[in-house]
Chains A and B, each alone.
Chain A
Amino acid sequence: GQQLNQSPQSMFIQEGEDVSMNCTSSSIFNTWLWYKQDPGEGPVLLIALYKAGELTSNGRLTAQFGTTRKDSFLNISASIPSDVGIYFCAGHPFSGTGNQFYFGTGTSLTVIP
């Protein structure tokens, strides 16, 4: 299957700091999604991106669809303890069919109060 490289694998930050993570693919994608998974729960959609260069915000979260269409970025500003969790990127290949999405391996975020 399609491989998505997500980095960093884990982050330990102080409350109030900003966070950046990214996801890259080997092929062109036409949709990028960012999910957050709280401990013991399923992933929940945070932001969806549909065209190259698109920049979308959801509160303190901002995500961008890379101009090459092979990458995406997620930023969290002024982190708070409830930001703790695993963040996944997911992408739909341009050549894909139906609803096939591929997921990154996740970025585990720990926020130290």
Chain B
Amino acid sequence: EAQVTQNPRYLITVTGKKLTVTCSQNMNHEYMSWYRQDPGLGLRQIYYSMNVEVTDKGDVPEGYKVSRKEKRNFPLILESPSPNQTSLYFCASSIRQGGGSRYGYTFGSGTRLTVV
């Protein structure tokens, strides 16, 4: 089954303790992205990757890191989490079509992170 898999689904952590949220897709998609969803703010892009070893900042990158060493994996790293990073996080992937996309994203099921 074609899918984007995120782990964990739920995570409670303490301020300052480094954590990684994993994301993997089995569709051979070039493009992957991380979003956070907060009430009233919709989905805001954190980082995206156009291909292996190519990553770039989205609209709200502060406090986050990503890496793209393999095509299928795109982990989100919080080096020193803070309470304002408590949110619902989604990983997404899509086929990349040069010069603009005619395809939408496939989303993972989400990771609900609470930082206390």
- The interface size bin for chain A is 20 to 34
Query: Which B residue sits closest to A41, measured CB to CB?
Result: B109
- The interface size bin for chain B is 20 to 34
Please indicate the chain A residues that have their CB under 8 angstroms from the CB of B35 in the complex: 103
Q: How far is the CA of A33 from the CA of B99 in the complex (A)?
A: 18
Q: Is B48 an interface residue (CB 8 A)?
A: yes
- The answer to whether B42 and A100 touch across the interface, beta carbons within 8 angstroms, is no
Q: Is A88 an interface residue (CB 8 A)?
A: yes
Q: How far is the CA of A33 from the CA of B97 in the complex (A)?
A: 16
Q: Is A112 an interface residue (CB 8 A)?
A: no
Nearest CB on A from B103, distance (A): 7
Q: Is A97 an interface residue (CB 8 A)?
A: yes
Residues 18 to 63 of chain A near chain B (Cβ within 8 Å): 30-31, 33, 35, 40-45, 48, 50
Query: Which B residue sits closest to A102, measured CB to CB?
Result: B45
B interface with A by C-beta (< 8 Å): 4, 31, 33, 35, 40-45, 48, 50, 58-59, 90, 92, 94, 96-97, 99-110
- The answer to whether B42 and A48 touch across the interface, beta carbons within 8 angstroms, is no
Query: Which A residue sits closest to B99, measured CB to CB?
Result: A97
Nearest CB on A from B39, distance (A): 9
The answer, among B42, B96, B100, for a CB contact under 8 Å with A88, is B42
- The answer to whether B108 and A42 touch across the interface, beta carbons within 8 angstroms, is yes
Query: Given contacts A30-B100, A103-B42, A104-B42, is CB(A98)–CB(B105) below 8 Å?
Result: no
- The answer to whether A48 and B40 touch across the interface, beta carbons within 8 angstroms, is no
